[in-house]
Structure 1
Amino acid sequence: MSFTAAEQAAMRRALELAVTPGVPTGPNPRVGCVLIDDAGRTVAEGYHRGAGTPHAEADALAHAGESARGTTAVVTLEPCNHTGRTGPCAEALVAAGVRRVVFAQSDPNPVAAGGAETLRAAGVDVESGLLRVESGLLNTVWTFAVEHQRPFVTWKFASTLDGRSAAADGTSRWVSSRASRLDTHRLRALCDVMLVGTNTVAVDDPLLTVRDEHDQPIEHQPLRAVMGERDLDPDRRVFNSDAESVHLRTRDPQTALKELYARDRQHVFLEGGPTLAAAFLRAGLVDEIVVYVAPMLLGAGRSAVADLGITTIADAFRPRVTDITVLDGVDGEEPNVRLTLTPERH
């Protein structure tokens, strides 16, 4: 593989374009594209703005017009080769007269893959692998969902130092600090499903929307999913008009994830109670754990997770810590600690 300095600079710019603020999460990956001429000068730029909008290549070509002929297209993901809500990007690049295509990551989606072959068959020079790792980090969740045919699951909970998520009388407002709650909303906004169990809805009546630092709802809301066979009061807040909602009539985590993936959902934020968390852990369907630890002791109360069937220390569930962040206290509150962990795969 041989890449020019101009192509490397263009790929870094394409990576920046791919993460342009305001692009909603959804079924499509984040992609950026830069067209450069033989002298390495930028001719046009583009990026994907969400499902149903032009792909990054089409966006860049639209800006370039006739100037696209003879250029090199530098793209963070292999140009697609299928017709969905938009046409195949590989064919659009050929039609525009693009001379060379450099992309970072191969498309893992079998429906869309094959763009490189289409380009080569049309006489376009194609190279891949430039900043592949960096590009992969843009779409870790999307790639996981495509490869595993199910959404990536992040389990989030707040806990005291002694592992309690609520006091003995059931009160849990607030185990975590305001800084932790604001951080939770930031993470919620990165997902496209908020998932809880029917008991959480019946007892806590959560709203399950994503709100900003002023407690105002953001524009693009995740799907609010409730899992369980129990009938619920339709007046519960989770079923209001603030965001889309669905009741998944199952207790099986695999079935729930299958239904959500069929709805083009890629990232589940699991915020249910200890029973739901235990069900996902026992099924091996938790891919990331985010814990907010508050500097307090309760001594009794609800645990963060229900019985996992573990009877000896040798069988303990031992996720790997990948990040430790201290969240400074606000409004006189003590700092909380956010732990990010990854379950080990066997």
Structure 2
Amino acid sequence: MGFTAGETAAMRRALVLAQSPGVPLGPNPRVGCVLLDDSGTEVAEGFHRGAGTAHAEADALLRAGDAARGTTAVVTLEPCNHTGRTGPCAQALIAAGVRRVVFAQADPNPQAAGGAATLRAAGIEVDQGLLEPDARRVNRAWTFALDHGRPFVTWKFATTLDGRSAAADGTSRWVSSPAARRDTHLLRGACDVMLVGTSTVEVDDPELTVRDEFDVPLSHQPLRAVMGLRDLPAGRRVFNERAESVRLLTRDPQAALQQLFELDRRHVFLEGGPTLAASFLRAGLVDEIVTYVAPMLLGAGRAAVGDLGITTIAQARHFAVTDVTALTSHDDSDTNVRITMRGN
């Protein structure tokens, strides 16, 4: 059967719930649920607040109590069919006496999939695909990671108009404007790993924490990952107590991503230098590029990316631009242009 106007409105609400402030972006998907009675009136709503907490369906069922019987559950993701830290949502919906389930996106996780079949076997009406593209965008990196068996990779870098990330003497502080640096922290906070190479740690000694507009580290921090075989002093800031850190003792991008995937990490923010970026690009493992272009020229200095093995213009890598935004400081004195592109 088709979807009603009430179910469509409920799904839009469920998508908003899934993105409630404070809900982490990983390692679990963000999910919202709305329960409707036969007249299309909302009975209860719920959302998943992160790993180890009640799933969206269970949250909504708890709030509804006995009123859940005979309702339609509108959920952004197929109800799970496995027991992890919490019980299977498909069984909870059956036990609550829900009459119909509408979900947007099928669960790509093979361990959790199968909820729709379990619900149908119990005699519950099930329909899927309502606003699925919107639901997939809510969990873009998580969905990609489950589909591909590796984290989604965003490569971020700042550059001058002539493609330089630093001057000949190594200075780079003012390539990105204050507005661009604030924007970078927002993007960092949307990922669950920040990845650099050993050279960046040795030379720049970054802390790699997400900070707010007052330059204060936030309470929830992405994992800081350092890739490479070089020995590093324990006193480097990336190993301090401000956030969790891990060494990836490999120079192989695919191996590094596999280790991070096994750590339940789904979105990597690649912030290393030109050599590390080039290795990921050559391996075809950059899914998104975010560059901050400064309106300045250096004429010499460090290139934004290392050797890609390209010897002729016909071999140039081309990317599709998905967004262009000017980022201007409060006093309009300094501007960068943020360009977002699809990678690979």
Normalising by the residue count of structure 1, what TM-score does the alignment of the two structures yield?
Answer: 0.98
CA distance in 2 between counterparts of 1:25 and 1:101 reads 25
Aligned equivalents of 2:216 and 2:280: distance in 1? 31
Q: 1:74: which partner in 2?
A: 74
CA contact (8 A) 1:152 1:267 kept: yes
Q: Secondary structure at the match of 1:333?
A: coil
Instruction: Name 2:28's counterpart in structure 1.
Output: 28
| Secondary structure class of the residue paired with 2:225 | strand
- 2:154 paired with 1:157: no
Return the alpha-carbon distance in structure 1 between the equivalents of residues 314 and 343 of structure 2. Answer: 16
The whole-number CA distance in structure 1 between the counterparts of 2:240 and 2:334 is 34
1:296 paired residue number? 296
Matches of 1:136 and 1:276, distance apart in 2: 29
Measured after TM superposition, the shift of residue 342 of structure 1 is: 0.9
Q: Which one-letter code corresponds to 2:189 in the other structure?
A: A
Deviation at 1:37, TM superposition (A): 0.6
Question: Does the residue aligned with 2:141 lie in a helix, a strand or coil?
Answer: helix
Counterpart amino acid of 1:64? Answer: A
CA contact (8 A) 1:159 1:165 kept: yes
Aligned-partner SS, 2:127: strand
Corresponding residue of 2:145? 145
Q: Which amino acid aligns with 2:12?
A: R
Q: Which residue does the alignment assign to 1:198?
A: 198
What's 1:184 paired with? 184
SS in 2 for 1:218: coil
CA drift of 1:332 comes to 5.0
How far apart are 1:149 and its partner, in Å?
Answer: 0.5
Question: How is 1:70-149 mapped onto 2 (pairs within 5 angstroms)?
Answer: 70-149=70-149
In structure 2, the residue matched to 1:232 is 232
Normalising to structure 2: TM-score of the pair? 0.99
CA distance in 2, matches of 1:231, 1:84: 38
Per-residue deviation at 1:174? Answer: 2.0
In the alignment, the residues of structure 1 paired with residue 331 and residue 258 of structure 2 have an alpha-carbon distance, to the nearest angstrom, of 42
Structure 2 partner of 1:47: 47
**1:243-258 alignment, distance < 5 Å:** 243-258=243-258
Q: State the SS of the aligned residue for 1:135.
A: helix
Structure 2 counterpart SS, 1:20: coil
Q: In structure 1, list runs of 5 or more residues that go unmatched.
A: none
SS in 1 for 2:33: strand
2:218 paired residue number: 218
Query: In structure 2, what residue type is equivalent to 1:242?
Result: R
Q: Deviations over 1:20-45 (max 9, x none)?
A: 11111211111100001111111110
Matched letter for residue 298 of structure 1: L
Secondary structure of 1:17's aligned partner: helix
Aligned to 1:319: 319
Total equivalences in the alignment: 344
2:287 — aligned with what?
Answer: 287
1:139 offset after TM fit, Å?
1.0
Q: Residue 281 of structure 2: SS of its match in structure 1?
A: helix
Does the 8 A contact of 1:177 with 1:333 survive in 2?
Answer: no
Displaced runs of 4 or more, over 6 A: none
Report the AA paired with residue 107 of structure 1.
D
Question: Counterpart of 2:190 in 1: which secondary structure?
Answer: coil
Across the aligned residues of Structure 1 and Structure 2, the Cα RMSD in angstroms comes to 0.9
How many Å apart are 1:330 and its aligned residue?
3.0
CA distance in 1, matches of 2:82, 2:210: 34
CA distance in 1, matches of 2:67, 2:210: 42
Distance 1:219 1:56 in 2: 24
Q: Which runs of 5+ in 2 are unaligned?
A: none
Instruction: Give how far 1:48 is off.
Output: 0.6
CA offsets 1:236-275 (integer angstroms, 9 cap, x no match): 0000000000011100000000000000000000000000
Could you tell me how far apart the structure 1 residues matched to 2:330 and 2:255 are?
A: 41
| Letter aligned with residue 196 of structure 2 | V
- Distance between the aligned counterparts of 1:335 and 1:202, measured in 2? 30
State the shift of 1:331 in Å.
4.3
Instruction: Show the counterpart of 2:18.
Output: 18
Question: For the Cα contact (< 8 Å) 1:178–1:330, is it kept in 2?
Answer: no
Q: What's the CA shift for 1:334?
A: 2.3
| Residue in structure 2 matched with residue 335 of structure 1 by the alignment | 335
- Kindly provide the CA deviation profile for residues 209-260 of structure 1, in whole angstroms up to 9, marking residues without a partner as x: 0001111111210000000000100000000000000011100000000000
Deviations 1:70-104 (A, max 9, x none): 11100011000011111100000000111110111
Secondary structure at the residue paired with 1:260? helix
One-letter amino acid matched to 1:141: A
What is the one-letter code of the residue matched to 2:333? E
- Of the structure 1 ranges 321-330 and 76-85, higher mean CA displacement relative to structure 2 is found in 321-330
